[in-house]
Structure 1
Amino acid sequence: MKKTKKDIIINVELDENKIPENIKWSAEDGGVTNQDVKALILSTWDFDKKETLKIDLWTKDMPLDHMNIFIYQTLVSLSKTHLRSTNNEKYLKIFPISVTILLKN
């Protein structure tokens, strides 16, 4: 089987104080080209160090209510992904109660 390589590109435009003003991402294989977004959470796992490496970015014009929704939806998604991948319900306790309740319904 031939291996392939795919690129996901993230471009961040900063203001003079190094605060994100614009964030765009592209994933040609997924049909996404220079899509504007207001926030981005990227987590990677360092196997040797057994730790998470993260990038959390949002533009300075992202409204607080949008940030709240973004974080909530991210937690819900992470909870569902973890449960689906591990079938280990005990770890649901570490997530906010509202997310756990949502998953049970």
Structure 2
Amino acid sequence: MKTAEIKLTVTLDDNNVPEHILWESTDSTNKEALPVKSMMLALWDQSYKNTLRIDLWTKDMPVDEMKRFFYETLQTMGDSFLRATGEKNIVEDLRDYCAHFADKMEITQK
């Protein structure tokens, strides 16, 4: 059995606001920690049947990039949901919402 480790390092200011976020993985070809401006981590607690979450962003994360980050996250959640469940119809609805979100947030879709 193979084991991989994902490491997150968050540097906080005096008010506990993230200044820097670095992530690295033992399974990555890149052996250096990479900087990121924002992260969302969701874990399923099967005992309590709920989600444990950590959402962090650095204080210099631009609002336009945060909007794009949410858009991309919603899109990739649809991809994951489709792979996990095969529920095509609801994923199409989510894609429609993502297009609406992009329009309202004035995000250029790629």
Is TM-score (shorter-chain normalized) higher than 0.5?
Answer: yes
TM-score (norm: length of structure 1): 0.83
Looking at structure 2, the residues matched to 65 and 11 of structure 1 have their Cα atoms a distance apart, in angstroms, of 24
- In structure 2, what is the equivalent of residue 97 of structure 1? 96
How many pairs were matched up? 99
- In structure 2, what is the equivalent of residue 73 of structure 1? 72
Give the C-alpha shift of residue 85 in structure 1.
2.0
Between the two proteins, what is the percent identity of the paired residues?
A: 36
Q: RMSD value over aligned CA atoms?
A: 2.1
Deviation beyond 4 Å, 4+ runs, structure 1? none
Q: 1:76 is matched by which residue type in structure 2?
A: Q
Give the C-alpha shift of residue 89 in structure 1.
3.2
- In structure 2, what is the equivalent of residue 13 of structure 1? 11
- In structure 2, what is the equivalent of residue 61 of structure 1? 60
Structure 1 unaligned spans of 5+: none
Give the C-alpha shift of residue 90 in structure 1.
4.8
Looking at structure 1, the residues matched to 92 and 28 of structure 2 have their Cα atoms a distance apart, in angstroms, of 33
Give the C-alpha shift of residue 93 in structure 1.
7.6
Indicate yes or no: 2:43 matched with 1:30: no
Structure 2 unaligned spans of 5+: 101-110
